[in-house]
């Protein structure tokens, strides 16, 4: 085989791999985007998102309700709107009233959210970036500091 042909074969193989990789990536990409919404974002949407989403805001004071031994409900607020969140499982160590929280899960009703995962901050000064932005929008940022 001439070097030219070898090079052509090599380039052809590389192209096939690249295309396969790109297709694989795009497919995985489309299925795994998790969008973030604040409670007021959600109430403005005409069509409720169906897949896995993240919501975030502050845990409303006095809203934590133990449903039984290991499930509970609480409401997440951004100052304008709030949404009821239900969660089964142990909470992260820093989960507390009046503090920032991000919940991952699905919309299961009007203003009702079932969380499969609760993410809180790593330390007292850390606030999820999405939550900071949405609180700034509703003017509650200073208050929660």
Partner 1 sequence: MTAEFGISCLILATLVATFQSFYLFGKTSFKVACMPQAALLQALLVSLALASLVILRVESDFSIQNVAQNSNLHLPILYKIVGTWGNHEGSMLLWLWVLSIFGNMIAISQNIDTALRNMAVAVQSILALGVMIFILLTSNPFARIFPPLTDGKTLNPLLQDIGLALHPPLLYLGYVGFSIVFSLAVASLLTGIRGRQWAHIVHPWILAAWSALTIGIGLGSWWAYRELGWGGWWFWDPVENASLLPWLSGTALLHANIVLKKRGLLGQWVCVLSIMTFALSMIGTFLVRSGALTSVHSFASDPARGLFILAYIICTVGGALVLFAMRGNTVKSEEVASPKSREGLIILNNLFLITACMSVLLGTLYPLFSEWLHGNKLTIGAPYFNLTFIPLMVLPIFFAGLAPYLPWKKADFFKSMHAAKPAILSCVTAIFVLFAIIKTHFLYGILGFGLAIWLLFASINLLLTRNLRANLPVAIAHAGVAVLVAGITGSGLWKTEQEKWLRTGDTLQTGSYALTLENKSAYEDNNYTADQSIFRLEYEGKLLDRLIPEYRNYRISNARTSEAALYPHFGGDVYAVTGETSKDGTAVATRLYHIPMIHFIWAGFVLMALGGVAAIIMNRGKTIDASL
Q: How far is the CB of 108 from partner 1 (least distance, A)?
A: 20
| 21 vs 112 by CB, closer to partner 1 | 21
93 binds partner 1 (CB under 8 A): yes
Q: Which of 49, 51, 62, 89 is close enough to bind partner 1 by CB under 8 A?
A: 89
Region for residue 119 given its phi and psi (left: phi exceeds 0; alpha: psi -120 to 50; beta: otherwise): beta
48 binds partner 1 (CB under 8 A): no
With CB under 8 A as the contact rule, which of the stretches 72-80, 107-115, 121-129, 136-144 interacts with partner 1?
Answer: 121-129
Q: Which of 7, 48, 112, 136 is close enough to bind partner 1 by CB under 8 A?
A: 7
Task: Kindly list the distances between the CA atom of residue 7 and the CA atoms of 3, 4, 13, 16, 87, in Å, as whole numbers in the listed order.
Answer: 6, 5, 10, 14, 58
47 binds partner 1 (CB under 8 A): no
Q: Is 141 exposed, middle or buried (0-12, 13-18, 19+ CB in 10 A)?
A: middle
Q: How far is the CB of 21 from partner 1 (least distance, A)?
A: 5
Contacts with 111 (C-beta within 8 Å, 6 or more apart), sequence order = 42, 43, 82, 83, 84
Restricting to residues 17-36, name those near partner 1 by CB under 8 A: 17-18, 21, 24-25, 27-29, 31-36
Dihedral (Cα; 124, 125, 128, 130), 10-degree rounding: 140
64 binds partner 1 (CB under 8 A): no
136 binds partner 1 (CB under 8 A): no
């Amino acid at each position: 085989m001439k070097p030219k042909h070898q090079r052509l074969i090599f380039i052809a193989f590389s192209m096939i791999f690249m295309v396969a990789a790109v297709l694989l990536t795009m497919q995985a990409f489309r299925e795994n985007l998790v969008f973030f919404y604040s409670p007021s974002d959600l109430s403005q949407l005409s069509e409720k998102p169906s897949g896995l989403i993240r919501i975030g805001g502050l845990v409303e004071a006095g809203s934590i309700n133990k449903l039984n031994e290991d499930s509970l409900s609480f409401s997440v607020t951004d100052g304008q709107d709030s949404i009821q969140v239900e969660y089964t499982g142990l909470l992260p160590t820093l989960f507390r009233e009046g503090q920032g929280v991000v919940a991952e899960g699905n919309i299961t009703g009007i203003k009702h959210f079932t969380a499969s995962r609760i993410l809180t901050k790593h330390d007292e000064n850390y606030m999820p970036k999405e939550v900071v932005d949405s609180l700034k929008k509703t003017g509650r940022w200073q208050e929660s500091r």
